[in-house]
Chains A and B, each alone.
Chain A
Amino acid sequence: MYRIHAGTDGALNLEGEIDASCSEEAGSRLLAAATQTDPCVDLTNLRFADVAAIRAIAAAVHLIALRAGSIELRGASPTFRKTWELLQLDRAAAARMN
C-alpha cells in the first residue's frame, strides 16, 4: 500500500497510500528511516494520506527535526498541503514545506 525508500538524491521517498489501516506504522517507519543529517522527505508519489497519516507524518518529522536540526518536506499534493495547514501542522511541526 505504501513504501519508504531512499532516492538517488538522498531524499526519503514516501510513496503510495496511507490510511487508518497503516498510519501509525508509517509514522514509526519514517522516523526510523530518517537517519541522515539535513533530511528531506519527498511526497511526490504519495497518492493519498488521511488525517491520521498526515498527523503521524507530522509527529515523525517533528521528532526528526529535533534530532537533525531541520527537515524538508517536498512534493506534497494540494490536498496534503491544505490539510497540513488546516490542522495547523505548519505551526506545530518544525518542517520546511517546499
Chain B
Amino acid sequence: MLSQIPVTNGDSRFVHEALLYSGIDDFVVRVGAFVADSIEANEPILVAVSNLKRELLCEALGEVPDFVQFADMAELGRNPGRIIPAWRRFADENVARGTRFRGVGEPIWPERTADELIECVRHESLLNLAFEGSPAWWLICPYDIKLLSPTVVEEAFRTHPSVLDGDSRSTSASYQGLAAIDAPFDVPLAEPVGNVTTMIIDRLEQLEALRRMVDMHSTRFGVDRSRTADLTLAVNEVATNSLRYAGGPSTIRTWNSHTAIVFEVSDDGRIDDALIGRRIPSVDRESGFGLWLVHQLCDLVQVRTYETGTVVRLQMTRA
C-alpha cells in the first residue's frame, strides 16, 4: 500500500517541493504514492531518478500508462546544468497539449563530489527562476535524510519554497527567494591543488594554440579522443565568449584532480544572466549557443561572477 502525500489542491502556479524520505523503502512508498496519484489524476509525469529506484518504483506500481516517463538521473544529471533544459522540454510538450503535469527529480545522491553538490544546489535554486510564471506543474525533489549530510538537507530548505516531511507540508522559512537566486552567483571556488598550467590570450588568433594545449593536457590525463575533442570545443567556446564579450585578456588555467581534468577561463567581465547556458537556444537565434553547448559536452560546468570578474570552470572525467 502506497501512503498518500498531500495534494496541492489545484495550485495554479509552478510548485517546487523537497520531499524528505528515510532510506530506499521509504522512497518507494512516498514517491510511489506521488506517481500513483499522478496516474490517478491522468497527469503526465517524468520521473528522473537512478535506474535502481526506477526499477523499484515500477515493481511497486505495476503496469504504468505511457504518460509515465522515466529518465536516468545519473546520465541526465551527470552535469546538473543539463537538467533544467530537460524539464523545459517536458514542460513545453505538456503545455502545448494543455495538460497539467508533474515531475520527480532527484539530482543529489551521497556519491556526488563537493563541486557537484554545489552545482546541484545551484540547479535546485535555478529551477524556481526558470519556471517562475510558467503554467502550473508540480515538481518534487526527493532527499534521503538517512544518507545525505544534514548540511545538504538544510540546503533543500533554502532552495525549495515548501517541504514535504512525513505526512505534512510546510512552507520553508529559510527559502532564499527569487531575488537572491537571480543575484550573481559568487560562491567561492576551491583553489586548485598540484600543478597548474596557465595561458593568457587576448586575440582570437591565439585560440588555435589554446586548443593544442587543451588537447595535450586532456590526452595526457587519459581522456579518450572523442571526449577530448568535446572538451577542446567547450574550452574554445568559453574562451571565444570571453574574448568577444569581456574584450580580453582571458586567463586559462588547467590542473587535474584524481578524477577529473579542469580548465578554467577567467576575465574581468560579468555574467548577469543567472540562467545562462540553461535555456534551449532556438535555431533562429544569433547567440546563446556557447554555454548551452558547453553544458551538454562537459561533465561539470561551474560559472561564477565576482566583483573582480567572471570565472568559468569545465571538468571532464576520464570516462
Contact = CB atoms under 8 A, between A and B. Distances in A.
Interface of A: 1, 17, 19-21, 48, 50-52, 55, 77-79, 82-83, 86-89, 91-92
B236 interface: yes
Given A50-B236, A87-B293, A19 B283 contact: no
Interface in B188-227: 204-205, 207-208, 211, 226
Contacts of A78: 226, 229
Nearest to A16: B208
A55 B288 CA distance: 12
Contact of A19 (B207, B229, B230): B207
Given A48-B211, A83-B293, A88 B283 contact: yes
B205 A21 contact: yes
A78 B205 CA distance: 25
A83 B234 CA distance: 11
Interface in B222-278: 226, 229-230, 232-233, 236-237, 240, 243-244
Contacts of B296: 86
Interface of B: 204-205, 207-208, 211, 226, 229-230, 232-233, 236-237, 240, 243-244, 281, 283, 289-290, 293, 296-297
Given A1-B208, A19-B208, A20-B207, A50 B233 contact: yes
Contacts of A83: 233, 293
Given A19-B236, A48-B211, A50-B233, A86 B283 contact: no
Nearest to A21: B204
Closest 8 CB pairs of A and B: A21-B204, A79-B229, A92-B283, A20-B240, A19-B207, A51-B289, A20-B204, A78-B226
Nearest to B206: A21
B230 A82 contact: yes
A82 to B, nearest CB: 7
Contacts of B244: 20
